[in-house]
Amino acid sequence: MGRAAYKPVGVALGLAAGTVAGVIFRQIWKVTAGDGEAPSPTDEDRGWVEILAAAALQGAIFGAVRAAVDRGGAVSVKRLTGRWPD
C-alpha cells in the first residue's frame, strides 16, 4: 500500500484520535481538578498555572493517543498487505 493509498486512512485515524483524546482529557480533568470543564486560555477567572497545566495535559494526551492510533493503523496495514505504509 503506497503513501497515497494510506493517506485517507491516516486522516480518518487522525480524526478518530482527536475525538478519543478529547474524551480522555475531559475525564482526566474532571478527576484531577474536580472541575467540570478545563479552563479556556482567555478565562480571566483562572490563573496561569491552571491554564498552562490544562494545556500541557491536553497536549500530552493528544500526542500519546495520536501516536498509538497511528502505530496501530500502520501495524494493521502491515498485517493486511505485508508491507509497512511509507
DSSP string spanning 24-84?
HHHHHHHHHH--SSPPPTT-TTS-HHHHHHHHHHHHHHHHHHHHHHHHHHHHHHHHHHSS-
Q: Are 68 and 14 in contact (CB under 8 A)?
A: no
Question: Angle 53-55-56 (CA atoms, 0-180°, nearest 5)?
Answer: 65
4-55 pLDDT tens trace:
667 787 888 889 999 999 999 999 999 988 777 888 999 999 999 999 999 9
Residue 43's pLDDT is what?
A: 92
Which 8-state DSSP code applies to residue 85? -
Kindly report the pTM of this predicted structure. 0.81
Residue 32's pLDDT is what?
A: 87
Listed residue (10, 31, 20, 14) closest to 61, CA to CA: 20
Residue 85's pLDDT is what?
A: 83
Residue 51's pLDDT is what?
A: 93
Answer yes or no: is pLDDT of 62 > 90. Answer: yes
